[in-house]
Amino acid sequence: MSLQHALLGVLEARPMSGYDLVRFFDGSTGWIWAAPQSQIYPMLRRMEQAGLIAGDEEARGPRLTRTVYSVTEKGHRELTSWLGVAHDAAPPRDPFMVQALNFDMIPAGEAVEVLEAFIAEQEKAAAEAEAHRDRLLRKETALLKERLSRRDPEDHDRIARLKAHVFDGIAAVARTRVEWARKGQRLLGE
Amino acid sequence: MSLQHALLGVLEARPMSGYDLVRFFDGSTGWIWAAPQSQIYPMLRRMEQAGLIAGDEEARGPRLTRTVYSVTEKGHRELTSWLGVAHDAAPPRDPFMVQALNFDMIPAGEAVEVLEAFIAEQEKAAAEAEAHRDRLLRKETALLKERLSRRDPEDHDRIARLKAHVFDGIAAVARTRVEWARKGQRLLGE
């Protein structure tokens, strides 16, 4: 049910349409949860039926409307109670680790190339997370601005730092993986 | 299709029954891919139909048999060609990051507790990965022994080091997360 909580977290900051949410979760935005359209629309319907979010019809031109969802009191309680307790870790399912565990079955040169692509991808992920961290610290992202507009100005710096810290962690993990992959390349060369 | 490749990788080392594979992938064995029984049996059927694995009936007592699967030539080619090229990264889907990104919505004390549980879990994961790494370096795990029994003795050390390195990386990521979480606790205390 993490998609549900990811949606509630975003909608807390800013009411959005299904279309906006699909774009938000398409995985290309430096966001921390990726979900396809085929999951988002059914989940929004279920959440509306459960009373966690409410849809408002909003005019879009003379004849068109769109539904904009916002979090209800019940949704807010569901989110904050989920946030406040520890949950079991997600089960391990990293395809790359399956690949690395079987590197002894392919020529070393191929494995080195696979690691090289992994390094490039992780370096990109680290750089993106660091850029996002910096935008958050400067309070520049649209979502953070909207969230802060409803919070005590005294808390703004702390909130920005807490959110930035999440992306700092994503970057640190990616940098750790880069170091690991480089050591793997050295092992393959032995 | 990573479950398919994870299964092929394991079955390359040792032919196993569906029941053995279910136990192997139940997530409690320091393994790097977790999958429930409800995924494993249908996947084995699909892989058998696709000619990637073949089932052998094996006697278990006077009247019982069980099917033991092994990798076919076609399955071996499928695995090694998948291993030899880089694949797109898995989309980000870590429920814990969704939780951390919304820590500003709950009392700091609750968030510190959630991080404390996360630290304990990551420290356990790191210790388990390190223990598994050391067993692999000593060539003690049953699966590695079977795999090595069919490989040139000259390669044994290298194969063990390559596999151990994967668990070294899992441990390094977990330790990075612990450090990150401790810094988060300090930020929450500010």
Between the CA of residue B13 and those of A26, B51, B149, what are the distances in Å?
38, 18, 9
Rounded average pLDDT over B58-81: 93
Single out the residue of B66, B90, B82 nearest to residue B9, CA to CA. B82
Q: Find chain B residues with C-beta within 8 A of A100's C-beta.
A: 165-166, 169
Which residues in chain B have their CB less than 8 angstroms from residue A163's CB? 101, 104
* Average of per-residue pLDDT values in chain A: 93
Of residues B32, B35, B107, nearest to A94 (C-beta): B32
Minimum CA–CA partner of B85 in chain A: A114
Q: Is pLDDT above 90 for A28?
A: no
* Contact check, Cβ <8 Å, B89/A190: no
User: Is the separation of the CB atoms in A20 and A67 below 8 Å?
Assistant: no
Which has the higher per-residue pLDDT, A90 or A182?
A: A182
A176 with B179: Cβ contact below 8 A: no
Strands B64-71 and A53-60: unpaired
Q: What is the pLDDT of residue A62?
A: 83
* Class of CATH domain A2-83: mainly alpha
**β-bridge pairing A64-71 and A16-17:** antiparallel
Among B93, B119, B136, B186, the strongest candidate for a mutation testing the A interface, having the largest count of A CBs within 10 A, is B93
A109 interface with B at CB cutoff 8 Å: no
Is B153's pLDDT higher than 80? yes
Please write the tens of the pLDDT for every residue from B23-60.
888 865 556 888 889 999 999 999 999 999 999 998 88
Instruction: State the pLDDT at residue B180.
Output: 98
* Helix runs in A67-155, H state only: 73-83, 95-101, 108-137, 142-149
Smallest CA–CA distance from B121 into chain A, residue: A89
The lowest-confidence range among A114-128, A159-173, B88-102, B120-134 is B88-102
Q: Are B96 and A90 in contact (CB under 8 A)?
A: yes
Interface test with A, best of B37, B87, B94, B105 (most A CBs within 10 A): B105
Q: What is the pLDDT of residue B24?
A: 87
CA distance A11 to A17: 9
Quick check: B99 and A87 in contact, CB under 8 A?
yes
pLDDT per residue as tens digits for the range A114-145? 999 999 999 999 999 999 999 999 999 988 99
- The stretch A148-154 carries a mean pLDDT of 93
Do B105 and A169 lie within an 8 Å CB cutoff?
no
Q: How confident is the model at residue B165 (pLDDT cuts 50, 70, 90)?
A: very high
pLDDT over 90 at A8, yes or no = yes
Q: What is the DSSP string of B28-81?
A: -SS-SB---HHHHHHHHHHHHHTTSEEEEEEEETTTEEEEEEEE-HHHHHHHHH
Q: Is the pLDDT of residue B1 over 80?
A: no
Residue ranges of the domains in chain A? 2-83, 95-189
Q: Between residues 47 and 106 of chain A, which touch chain B (CB distance below 8 Å)?
A: 79-80, 82-87, 89-106
pLDDT band at A89 (very low <50, low <70, confident <90, very high): confident
Of A94, A166, A176, the CB nearest to B97: A166
Token output for B94: 């870590």
pLDDT of residue A187: 96
Predicted local distance difference test score (pLDDT) of residue B136:
96
Q: Which residues in chain B have their CB less than 8 angstroms from residue A94's CB? A: 32-33, 90
C-alpha distances in Å from residue B146, one per residue of A39, B80, B140: 42, 19, 10
- A-chain CB neighbours of B181 within 8 Å are 169
- The mean per-residue pLDDT over the stretch A68-77 comes to 97
Q: What is the largest CA-CA distance in chain B?
A: 70
Highest mean pLDDT, choosing among A26-40, A140-154, B17-31, B38-52: B38-52
C-alpha span between A52 and A54 (Å, rounded):
7
Q: pLDDT value at position B26?
A: 85
* Residue A91: pLDDT band with limits 50, 70, 90: confident
CA distance to partner chain B, nearest, from residue A67 (Å): 24
The sign one gets for the Cα dihedral B63, B69, B74, B76 is negative
pLDDT confidence of residue B28: 55
> Between B30 and A71, whose confidence is greater?
A71
**Confidence (pLDDT) at A190:** 82
Residue B14 has pLDDT above 80, yes or no: yes
